[in-house]
Amino acid sequence: MPKCIFEVSSISQVNLDNPLLQVENLSVDFNIHGGTIQAVRDINFSISRGETVALVGESGSGKSVTAQAILGILPKIASISQGSINFADPQQDNRIIDIAKLDRDSAGMRSIRGGSISIIFQEPMTSLSPVHTIGDQISEALFLHRPFSHSEGMDATRAMLQQVGFPDPARAMKMYPFELSGGLRQRAMIAMAMVCHPALLIADEPTTALDVTVQARILQLINELQSALNMAVLIITHDLGVVANVADRVVVMYHGQITESGPVDTIFSNPGHPYLQALLNSVPRFDMTPDERLTPVREANYTIDNMLDPGSNAQQLIGEPHLIVQGVGKSFGIRKTGLFGIGAVNRVVAVEDVSFQINRGDSFGLVGESGCGKTTLSKMLMLATPPDSGSIEYRSAEGETIDLLALEGQPLIDFRQRMQLVFQDPFSSLNPRMTVFDILREPLIIHNIGDDDYQREWAQSLIRLVGLDPRFLSRYPHSFSGGQRQRIGIARALALKPKLLICDEPVSALDVSIQAQILNLLKDLQQELGLTYLFISHNLGVIHYIADRIAVMCRGNIVEMASRDQLFANPMHPYTRSLLAAVPHPDPTKPLDFDALRNAGLSDPANWPDKFRPDADSGTQFLDIGNGHRVRTRQSVAHSDLV
């Protein structure tokens, strides 16, 4: 009989009066060529068994450095200059061990790391080996720390994959990370961290870039495993909605120091430190009025240059059709390779019969889970991927109607100046070998705009436009923070004076305070320059703040479309309702209903009520229920059936 990896009784218990982990007066220094930087200064906190402590703060506040110190994985240039990290190791009869005094490569540290303390990293794709199967990577930790035979280890690994929600654990054992979705890769990371039953789990931004529904399932999964194993959790995050739903206590860090700590209810109901108050004011909320602005921790001061005058004609046409999409569809062929490379080709529908209109000067929000077709649709609009069907029309301020699908050659290159894209990941979309000046100048060179003096002056105007110092033009992307890189990406998108911007998840991986800066900047630029936005996001709080009209996508179809107020006040489609129910509010009095989310399964049309479920015989219709609020239903459904 193989050993069961889920036996809770085999885990030593620790008295809650005695902390499992006690961090006292901890300071961490980084020794660099210019001297010493103190990344963490004199911090104190504790974690008891079964407790969840949230470590909150912006990028650079010292959260991840603290976690690295606890795990003994600090970079070589970093060292613990003072303090202690006392850990009651259940593998050694709860003997107190000062991790700060252990050599990071010693046998004692290696036995704790992965065995008694595990970590879930922020980005699973870069944390998982691309050349090893999921089963091999998860079982490796088990064989290192537990006396299991190969068959017992494989059985335990399959059981762990089932426990974290893999639909087919036996198949997943043989798969590679690139074959999994973002949510399943994160579940594989959780399985790897949990397979040895650690006493302490460190979750470093475990849900930052995940959809709200996947995020809710991951949070629920961690919560269930924690309850089953009486495990302590240190969750590192900048998402205050996540904190409000999972934490027992909160520790707030700023510039390497703890500014405030306490029970989660007290932290949210009565924040004492100005920094925490500013963080709370940076979070988009559903109860914000249309003219209310987010308040970032630090305002980004920028200058709207006279050179960016959009022109009176465009301003006069605000509200007129700008982009018209009709019946666009796209499918991809997946070949099942057989003998000699010959096999059947299956068609996977990515986008099906999508139609919408974006008016000039509006911000049109497109929301849905990963894999629903949002990015494929944006690629078709940018003519990077040709659609299989439908039409895309662009209407200029001069009254010209352009059939985008008929463009090719020089006319297509010329059109690129009118519509640009802001990418999701600013770091990978900026060339690391080019300075900011070269990055901003490149579009002008490609389109033969201006001489050297004009291009330099224009680059300086663009960098001021997004609130950065022109002296930064000589720097490279790696020397900027995530928010600054995203502003550079926006500046590059504006270099050709486009009238329509497609923003593909532009703030999904940013801190809430930096996110507030970028969102405010985009709103101001839209108003000052008369820009039109297609804003793609899975964050409904962000969509509520920036969008005028919203379309909800599920499995390649738009299932509901309405104005912002209509959609949030009266969502009609079950999928839209499930998305709204999965949003974690930064308020402990409004917790997520994990049981309802688990039982809903509303991303699968088979679980929808009959009137919304597609009919194989008659198909579906886009039913207008009034004031432009449209819902996808069966053909037989009447207006009176929904209202």
Spatial contact of 524 and 487, defined as CB atoms under 8 Å apart: no
- When pLDDT is averaged across residues 183-189 and rounded to a whole number, the result is 81
Q: Each residue of 571-603: pLDDT tens digit?
A: 999 999 888 888 888 889 988 887 766 655 577
Can you tell me the distance from the alpha carbon of 630 to that of 358, in angstroms, rounded to the nearest whole number?
A: 15
pLDDT of residue 1: 32
The DSSP secondary structure of 303-330, one letter per residue, reads: ---GGG---HHHHHTTTSEEEEEEEEEE
Backbone angles phi, psi at 430, to 5 degrees: -105, 130
Can you tell me the distance from the alpha carbon of 204 to that of 220, in angstroms, rounded to the nearest whole number?
A: 16
pLDDT of residue 297: 83
pLDDT of residue 193: 86
Backbone angles phi, psi at 213, to 5 degrees: -70, -40
pLDDT for 14 beyond 50: no
Number of H-type helices and E-type strands within the chain: 24, 22
pLDDT for 11 beyond 50: no
- When pLDDT is averaged across residues 381-387 and rounded to a whole number, the result is 92
pLDDT of residue 13: 39
pLDDT for 511 beyond 90: no
Q: Each residue of 336-372: pLDDT tens digit?
A: 555 555 566 678 888 999 999 999 999 999 998 877 8
Q: Give the pLDDT band (50/70/90) at residue 257.
A: very high
pLDDT for 483 beyond 80: no
Domains in the chain: ranges and CATH = 18-131+199-281 (3.40.50.300), 306-572 (3.40.50.300)
Can you tell me the distance from the alpha carbon of 278 to that of 377, in angstroms, rounded to the nearest whole number?
A: 36
The DSSP secondary structure of 148-200, one letter per residue, reads: --HHHHHHHHHHHHHHTT-S-HHHHTT--GGGS-HHHHHHHHHHHHHTT--SE
The two tokens of residue 104 are 């990071």
Sequence-ordered list of residues with C-beta below 8 angstroms from that of 596, at least 6 positions apart, any chain: 581
Average pLDDT taken over every residue of the chain? 85
pLDDT of residue 67: 93
pTM for this predicted structure: 0.82
pLDDT for 138 beyond 80: yes
pLDDT of residue 340: 56
- Gyration radius from the chain CA atoms: 26
